[in-house]
Amino acid sequence: MRNLITITDTTYQIIISGNTFMNNTAIKGLIYIDSFHRTSPILIDSNTFKFNGAYYGASVIFIRARAQPGRSIKSVVSNLESTLQCGGY
């Protein structure tokens, strides 16, 4: 399977919470989020991952963040660092 959960092109709030993901395999990530410029949060909380596998270099959660046209994602994130729980850029 390529991804178990794929979310693209949405501006709605995303909450993935309180789930158990067990005995899955994926190519890019079990959860794949392709996120354009957002004003609503993405919350991934209190999930359990057991006995999952992926190709080398893949991860359980893959988030691709994109900035508005003509802006760098790094400049957007640096302005918000005081409110972010984690960044990764």
Nearest to 25 by CA among 47, 68, 5, 55: 55
Q: What is the pLDDT of residues 19-76, one digit of tens each?
A: 999 999 988 889 999 887 767 788 899 999 999 988 777 788 888 877 778 877 666 5
Note the pLDDT of residue 85: 53
Structure tokens at 71: 């802006």
Q: Where are the domains of the chain?
A: 5-83
Note the pLDDT of residue 82: 53
Q: Model's pTM, two decimal places?
A: 0.73
Taking every pair of Cα atoms in the chain, the longest distance, rounded to a whole number of angstroms, is: 41
